[in-house]
């Protein structure tokens, strides 16, 4: 079964708890929290205090996507804030293995993300310490961008790689996902769909979530 992870980057920051409740009631599994530092990406979003405040408002799995330089420095604080999955960028880690091991040691699932131009093959040496691979289908930094079809073969490569591990590795896709391309990314190998605009900007949030979930029953062609 595919999982939906709505990105709160697209919600109304003045009414975050209400918006989160709306997606929780719509039956999503994860909540995607995009943390940006203005260095690794050219944008600043929100950080630890916002996650700490949201934590008591929701039972969802907090799927935290760190777009920050040298993220190992903040593993413990994000755990304390309530993160369940902590995803770091391959390109942002001076020592990828150390970062993933630190995340697991802190009691979270360890995710690793690659930007559109980074090949999936760079992740092969770390399979034993990866719980989730996040394929970016836009350049990270901003919500509301168009899906890059170049991500489709990367999803397939990530799926093939994940199958070589002796534990479950989830394949997540992030950027420009909507009911229009959801069946394509699922057919390519994604099992967690991040969607910001397509969920929070929809007139009917529940209908948008249902349409995304239905992707696995729809032929991509
Ligand atoms: C981009 C973020 C995404 C983004 C998704 O850097 O990682 O999570 O907010 O937003 P949409 O679904 O609007 O492309
Ligand atoms: Zn994200």
Category of 130 on φ-ψ map: left (φ > 0), alpha (ψ -120 to 50) or beta: beta
Binding site membership of 179 for ligand 1 (Cβ less than 6 Å): no
Whether residue 111 has its Cβ less than 6 Å from ligand 1? no
| pLDDT value of residue 125 | 98
Give the model's pLDDT for residue 56: 98
| Predicted TM-score of the model (pTM) | 0.98
- What number does the ligand 1 atom closest to the CA of 195 have? 12
Q: How far is the CA of 146 from the centre of ligand 1 (A)?
A: 10
In this structure, which ligand is nearest to the CA of 40? 1
Ligand in nearest proximity to the CA of 7:
1
Q: What is the pLDDT of residue 220?
A: 82
The pLDDT assigned to 126 comes to: 98
User: Within 13 Å of residue 34, how many CA atoms lie on the same side as its CB?
Assistant: 26
Q: Is the CB of 173 under 6 A from ligand 1?
A: no
CA of 141 relative to ligand 2 center, distance in Å: 8
Pocket test for ligand 1, best of 4, 6, 7, 63 (most atoms within 8 A of CB): 7
Collect all residues with Cβ–Cβ distance below 8 Å to 140 and sequence separation of at least 6: 36, 40, 41, 67, 89, 113, 115, 175
What pLDDT score does 62 carry?
99
Judge if the beta carbon of residue 141 lies within 6 A of ligand 1.
Answer: yes
State the pLDDT at residue 2.
96
**The pLDDT of residue 151:** 98
In the chain, which residues have pLDDT < 70?
221
pLDDT at 218: 86
Instruction: State yes or no: is 174 an active-site residue.
Output: yes
Give the C-alpha separation, 150 to 127, whole Å: 23
Cα atoms in the Cβ-side hemisphere of radius 13 Å centred on 209: 20
Q: What is the pLDDT of residue 133?
A: 99
């Amino acid at each position: 079964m595919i999982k939906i992870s709505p990105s709160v980057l697209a919600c109304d920051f003045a009414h975050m708890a209400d918006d989160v409740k709306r997606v929780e009631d719509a039956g999503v599994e994860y909540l995607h929290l995009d943390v940006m530092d203005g260095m690794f990406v050219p944008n600043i979003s929100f950080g630890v205090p916002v996650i700490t405040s949201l934590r008591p408002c929701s039972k969802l799995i907090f799927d935290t996507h760190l777009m920050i330089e040298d993220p190992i420095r903040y593993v413990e604080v994000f755990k304390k804030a309530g993160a369940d999955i902590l995803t770091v960028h391959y390109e942002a880690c001076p020592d990828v293995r150390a970062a993933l091991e630190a995340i697991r040691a802190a009691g979270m699932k360890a995710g690793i993300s690659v930007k559109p131009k980074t090949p999936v093959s760079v992740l092969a040496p770390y399979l034993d310490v990866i719980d989730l691979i996040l394929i970016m289908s836009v350049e990270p930094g901003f919500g509301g961008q168009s899906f890059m079809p170049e991500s489709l073969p990367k999803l397939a490569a990530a799926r093939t790689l994940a199958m070589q591990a002796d534990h479950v590795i989830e394949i997540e896709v992030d950027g420009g996902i909507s009911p229009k391309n959801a069946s394509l990314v699922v057919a390519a190998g994604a099992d967690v769909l991040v969607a910001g605009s397509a969920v929070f900007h929809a007139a009917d949030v529940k209908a948008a979530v249902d349409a995304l979930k239905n992707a696995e029953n729809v032929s991509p062609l």
